[in-house]
Structures are given as structure tokens and as C-alpha cells.
Amino acid sequence: MNSITHHNQTLEQSEEFESAKKVPSHKHWRGLTQDIDREHSFEPLTIEGKLPNDINGTLYQNGTGLFASHDTKYGHIFDADGLVRGIRIQNGKAYGAAKLVQSEGLQAENNAGRMLFSGIGTDLQGWRAKLRRLNLVRQRKVPLKNTANTSVLMWQERLFALMEASLPTELDPNTLDTIGESTLNNAVLGAFSAHPHWVSERACGYSFGINPSGQNTFLDIYELPKTGQCKNIARAKLSWRPFGYVHDFIATPKHLIFFIPPMHLPTKNLLKFMTGSALYPLMDWKAELGTEVIIVPIDHPEKVTRFITEPFFPIHFANAYEQGDEIIVDYTHSPDTFLYDQLGSLHLGFSDKYYRGKFENRKKDTGVLRRARIDINSTAIDFDVVWPEYCEFPKINPSLQGSKNTFVYMVQSPSDAPIRAPIFTQIVKLNLETGQSSTLQLDDEQIPSEALFIRKQNAKEEDAGYLLSMVYDGHQHKSYLAIIDAQDIEAGPVAKLHLDQALPLSFHGMWCPSK
């Protein structure tokens, strides 16, 4: 039984400080972990290159905005306060906006002038604060800061900022101003995932929430139709008690597929969590339990299929589709929680341990794109590595979500990359049928984010479109949106939309075409 480690110190206090200073290459990437300088509404951006005339719409993207609360550093980047960014392209012009999500927790801390909440990797400070939290827990109130920092959802022309442990936070899509938390008309029972998935064939989206209740943890499943109300269509009890962890899932026109890693909060650590200790260090990874596969038929959600397979940690899903009696699932894979653990201290400085784990002594199948083939009738499951490099944020042509796709687009940091960086330096396009790939190696100190695919107007080929990736320029300490022809990514961006400041590290985004 291995407990997940974490660091909850400033860089100067960290034991890793000296080794972090010894990593000179890519020193400027640290600009990605500095607080946002300036919030603003949509304002004109400088365009470099030729902006394609068939792009009209808005890119909404979410990520980190503040890495400390009143001079107290957060212990994990996932505890950072959310910053929603918008890039609007209309009639050959471009505009950008960036605003912190004004959550109830952030406002409460600003009013108090100090940190009030623990988090994924952040301990609550002070015995008085811990006693106050314990009293709230006794009243069945768990004080949780909704950082709304992970992704965005546009549903029925309403914009939401998401994090996986709280309710959706609604924003004004025109200004990015915060409206407040929403239960989607009383449909959401508690937590709502930061990774909803759309199924094109059903014209419907799906999401889930992990909700503890007593000694049990429940997986609540939600349906988000194009029209009509959000509905809770199923509830399944997880095997790991009392608190399990699920980050992402995937959907086909017939099934919802969950890979539940053997990671949970054991009963012996509940009191520490209730009194304000950080969550991640209290959770156990128990490889001997294996990973549980849960398959929910959408039209008959009561007929759930469950079975155990080898232990692994699924990070993000690219796509899934039906092929005869099989379900094909593509996802980024890790054999354990190493990536989550080490990335958490990005804003505190990296240790030699991280570089060795990522480059020299990388565990087998860490950070790869893997394919699972599931036989629905026999529950047999087979795995193949379809891309062996260290990659993340797999995206496809969104019109094919839930259907067979040929291409997947990812950011990556391969072992033979000319630039050795703590995060990603390349964008790769992979043909899943042939195994052939094309790679865009960005220039020195250029750090890409998730590359979203948007279709060209009247596109007839799957890859006829553009990739949108927010890039941090470490030389200028500024960010720009790179627009890349998806059929020729090696040529580099056809246009760059420059902001006048650096945007901190981002996670997930969504493209919303103009009506």
C-alpha cells in the first residue's frame, strides 16, 4: 500500500529547491506558473500571419489563475483559482478576454484576507481553522472551495466553468463575468465532472459526479440533451470506500465507459481530511485491487456491467466507438499516479526525480496513448499501445465523437526531443490506421497547450480543419493563440493571435462557432 506524496511548501522551503535550480534549460517556462497580471473583457488582439476567413466563433479555455491565497502558496497546481480565457474571432478580427472565476470561496478568502480552505494538495493552516472545519463537517457541511479551474462547458447557450469536485459555475459568455454555481435546475446532486463528453449521433452530452455518502461513494451519471432538462439517469456504487476517484470517462452512442483506478481515501484517514489535511496525500494506491471497468448502457442504465482488470490510471480519453461486439477506447495511460503527483509541484519547482522519471528512468507505458478493446459479451479486455511517446490532451474532430475516427491530435514531450522541458513542447497528429505521424516542434521557449480541432467550412475530409493551441512564449513572457492547418501541421502556425500578457497554465477548452 503506497500513499501519494505531495509538497506543501514555498519553493524556498522545498527540499527540491536546489535540484530545481540545477535545471537551466527552459527556465522561462516558469512564467506559466505566475499569477495573472491583468483581468480584462474582450479587447483587440494583434494578428500575425494570415487569419483564415472561415473561422468565426469563440474559444473558451480554463486553467490556473492564482497560485497562492494571500501569500500562502497552494500545495498543488490543481488547487489554483480558475481563470477563464476567451478568444473571439469574427470577420477577420480577433479579441481576447481573461477573467478569474469569482467563486464564493475566493471571495470569502479575499474578505478574510487569508486562506480558508484546504485542497487537493493544500493543508488548512491553524488549529482554529481546523476546528471550525470539523464543526461544519459535523453539521454535514464540507467546506470545499470550488476553484472552477479545469474546463468549460457550453450547453444550451449557457457557459459553465468546471472542476470535478463541485457544482458547475455559470459565467456570462459575452463578458466572462461570474454568475454563480448552478445545479442545472436541481438535476445535479453534488459534484459534477470537469470532463463531460458529447455524442454526435445522439445529439446529447453526458457527464458524471463522484458523491460520497456515509461509508460509500456513488457515481452519478447525467444526461445533457441539446434541448430539454439535464437529467440524472443512473447511480452506481463504487467498490472503493469511503471515497474513490474518477477523473474522466468516455461515451459511445450506446454505452458510457468508466475506468476506475484503485485509488481511494481509506477510513483511517477520514478524520485528517475532515480537519483540513490535503486530500491527495491521504489517498492510497492499491495496485492489488486492479482497475474496475464499469459499462453503463445508455438506454438501459440499470443493466451495468462491471469487472476488474490490471491496475492503471486513465488520464484523459480521446474517443470510443462500437465495432461489432467490441467497444474501442483510446485514452492516455499511466501505470500509477506518478504524473499527477509530480505535476502538482510545477509551481514550486521541479526535482531531479521528475526529470529522471520522465526521461531517463521512465516506467513502462507512462504517459502513452493506449487502446482498450472490450468484448461486451465476455467482458474480455485487451490493451495495445498506439503511441509510445509521453503525450497528453488527446483530441479528435468533434463531429466524430462516439464514432470511428482516423486522426488524433496531442501535445507531447518525446524522449528524443531537442528541448528538455517539464511539460510539452510539440504537437503531434497521429493516423490511427497507419501509425504514421506528423509533428510540429515549436521554437525554443514555446510551450503549447491542448490542441483543439475545429472543422473548416464545408469540410469533406476528417482532417480538414485547424488546430487551436494557446502557446506561452518564454522569451517574451506573453501568450498567443496558434492557428495551425491540421492537414499540414509541420508548416507551423498560419496565424498567431497575440495577447499583451502571459496566461498561466491552462487545461481544457471548447470551441463555440458563431451562429
Q: Which residues neighbour 339 within 8 Å (Cβ) at sequence distance 6 or greater? A: 313, 315, 366, 367
Residue-level pLDDT at 188: 95
Q: Given this model, what pLDDT does residue 419 score?
A: 58
Helix (H, G, I), strand (E, B) or coil at 127: helix
Is the CB of residue 192 less than 8 Å from the CB of residue 205? Answer: no
In contact, 196 and 206? CB cutoff 8 Å: yes
- The answer, yes or no, to whether the previous bond of 242 is cis (omega within 30 of 0) is yes
Helix ranges restricted to H, 227-337: 270-274
From the number of C-beta atoms within 10 Å of its C-beta (0-12, 13-18, 19+), residue 17 rates as middle
Cβ neighbours, 10 Å, residue 90: 12
CA distance 242 to 212: 7
Name, in order, each residue with C-beta under 8 angstroms of 260's C-beta and a sequence gap of 6 or more: 238, 239, 240, 244, 246, 291, 292, 293, 294
What is the predicted pLDDT for the residue at 111?
A: 95
Q: Residue 328 corresponds to which cell in the numbers above? A: 474501442
**C-beta separation of 146 from 160 below 8 A:** no
pLDDT at 362: 67
> For the residues of 256-289, what is the DSSP string, one character each?
EEEEE-SEEE-GGGHHHHHTT--SGGG-EE-GGG
User: How far, in Å, CA of 128 to CA of 126, rounded?
Assistant: 6
Question: What is the distance in angstroms between the CA of the first residue and the CA of the last residue of the chain?
Answer: 53
Its pTM stands at 0.92
The matching CATH number, chosen from 2.130.10.10, 3.40.47.10, 3.30.70.2190, 1.10.10.10, for 2-513 is 2.130.10.10
Distance of CA 319 to the CA centre of its chain: 15
User: What residue ranges of the chain have pLDDT lower than 50?
Assistant: 1-26
Q: What pLDDT shows up at residue 422?
A: 67
Contact 498, 46 (CB under 8 A): yes
